[in-house]
Structure formats: structure tokens, C-alpha cells
Chains A and B, each alone.
Chain A
Amino acid sequence: KNEVEQSPQNLTAQEGEFITINCSYSVGISALHWLQQHPGGGIVSLFMLSSGKKKHGRLIATINIQEKHSSLHITASHPRDSAVYICAVRWGPGYFGNEKLTFGTGTRLTIIP
């Protein structure tokens, strides 16, 4: 079974700071998702990646397949970035279904104005 660990569990930072959230997993995967969950409960998919790096606005996601590790970075953080960030890995090479998704417990990010 694939284990997914996120760190830190909680992170509080000042507005404008550079944020890094980490995700490690234990076995080979076909893709990794970064998700954002706001206090109301809804979840938004931020990135899905299987190699390298992706960027969207102030968000950057990287993955190192050899080291089984991914990071989510937020530049120029803002209070509206406050949310829970969840890493999920899809295991099984070449498999595109989502039955084999394993989720981390999430990182709660709070950005103080």
C-alpha cells in the first residue's frame, strides 16, 4: 500500500512570504495531485503532474520521481491562500483511473495579513 506523508501539518506565515509544502510517498506512482480545500469544504484541483514542474500564477508544483517527493510552492503569499492543501498520489504505472488514489492528511496553511 502506498503511504503519503505531508509536512508540515500546520503552517502559519506572514503575507508575502514564500511557502513550501512537502509530500512524500512510498511506492511508484503514475501521477500526483495537489488539491486545495477551503473552509467551506469544497476541493479544487490545483495540479496534476507526473514529472518535472508546473506553474500556475503564484503556485509552483515540482516532483522528483527518483526521490518519491513533491513540493508545492506559493510565492508572495496572500491571506486568500489560507486553506488546507492536500497531496494525493495515483499508483500503478500507466493507469489513469482514480480508484488507486491515496490521499495525505493535508497541510493547513494560514496567511496572516
Chain B
Amino acid sequence: ETGVTQTPRHLVMGMTNKKSLKCEQHLGHNAMYWYKQSAKKPLELMFVYNFKEQTENNSVPSRFSPECPNSSHLFLHLHTLQPEDSALYLCASSQFGATGELFFGEGSRLTVL
């Protein structure tokens, strides 16, 4: 099992669809993150969960809804997205309180038509 697994790797959706991105980590970490990476822009932090509790919501529109049912799983629920939301969405995990080294998944490339 790889450390951090994201599914699906590619997703195409219309603006009225509802879909979800899934992230699973097998590293025993207690912190999980969603990042957005748009073309030519730095990674942007979206959400942080520490010990399953959301500790950061970086002014993300409500059409993105995170869910963290346990410390190993993280979801990003998507609804009524806009074409400008097309980007690579990356999940990461770390052990809060330790060195803080981040472990990333392969990303989910989202295209909104």
C-alpha cells in the first residue's frame, strides 16, 4: 500500500453535478490536508484536519465540503462547481507535533465543464 492514496485520479464533471474526491493514508498520521494547485500558481491550502477535527478552512467556497470520518480518510465533496475550479487537488498527511514532514498523494485532476 502506498502512503497516501487518492481517487479518482481524473474527474470530469458538469457544473450541476455532485461528486466526491477520496483520500486515504496508511501512515498512522493524525493530520490531513486538502490543497488546490492551479496552473502557474502556488499550492493553496484549503482545509486541515487534526485528530479528525477541522482546524483550518482557508476561506474556501461552500461548494467545497470536506469530511473526515476518521484519521485515515478524508473526502472532498464537490457540488455546483465553476469552470475556474478546474485544478489538481492534492491530499497530504503528517504527524502533528512531530517533525511536520508532509506526505502527498498523487492528486486528483478535476475538470469542470
Contacts and interface: CB of A to CB of B under 8 A. Distances in A.
Given A99-B48, A99-B55, A101-B45, A42 B101 contact: no
Contacts of A7: none
B104 A96 contact: no
Contacts of B42: 4, 86, 102-106
A57 B31 CA distance: 29
A41 B90 contact: yes
B66 interface: no
Interface string A59-96: 00000000000000000000000000010101000001
Interface in B57-113: 88, 90, 92, 94, 96-107, 109
A81 B57 CA distance: 34
B40 A105 contact: yes
B43 A103 contact: yes
B98 A96 contact: yes
A41 B100 contact: no
A42 B106 contact: yes
B19 to A, nearest CB: 18
Contacts of B97: 96
Contacts of A99: 45, 48, 55-56
A98 B31 contact: yes
Nearest to B10: A41
B2 to A, nearest CB: 9
B54 to A, nearest CB: 11
A40 B106 contact: yes
A74 to B, nearest CB: 20
A51 interface: no
Given A96-B97, A97-B96, A99-B48, A42 B107 contact: yes
Contact of B90 (A43, A97, A101): A43
Interface of B: 31, 33, 37, 40-43, 45, 48, 50, 55-56, 88, 90, 92, 94, 96-107, 109
